[in-house]
Amino acid sequence: MNKIMLTLLAMAIALLFATVAAADHHAVKAASKEGIGTYLTDAKGMTLYWFKKDAAGQSACAGECLQKWPLYYREKVAAPAGTMNDEFGTITRADGEKQTTFRGYPLYYFFADKAAGDTNGQGVKEVWYVIDPGSFMK
């Protein structure tokens, strides 16, 4: 009987960890870095950016732009502390692809960011920026 209880307990713990890991997969997080401040990342810590030429609900990055600035998309997003889930949404781009937004603005990665915490896209051509959730488009 003890062996069955231990097996059931082990299965319950494994299921709990799997559920937490799956939920974290869709989490957007807030990170902080000296010289950058607070900014949004995906669940793995990869920096998310916005494009100054975009409009709320519409992406201006297409074609070759997407090679350097791949879009970020998750069907559902768990918002970090200090933000609300309804601040994240989804648009369907002109090319038919879906893209996650923050306060209506499309989110992107930067191809030169290779590791969690990289912010190499900050200020590129004075149109690409990290997103400070405390002040972005409020």
Percent of the chain having pLDDT more than 90? 76
Per-residue pLDDT band at 12 (split at 50, 70, 90): very low
The total of other beta-carbon atoms located within 10 Å of residue 123's CB is 12
Question: 53 versus 6: which is more confidently predicted?
Answer: 53
Q: Which whole-number Å values give the CA distances from 105 to 5, 15, 41, in the listed order?
A: 50, 35, 15
User: How far apart are the C-alpha atoms of 130 and 33, rounded to whole Å?
Assistant: 11
User: How far apart are the C-alpha atoms of 133 and 40, rounded to whole Å?
Assistant: 7
**Residue 125 exposure: Cα atoms within 13 Å on the Cβ side:** 10
What pTM did the predictor assign?
A: 0.82
Per-residue pLDDT band at 138 (split at 50, 70, 90): confident
pLDDT of residue 5: 53
pLDDT of residue 137: 87
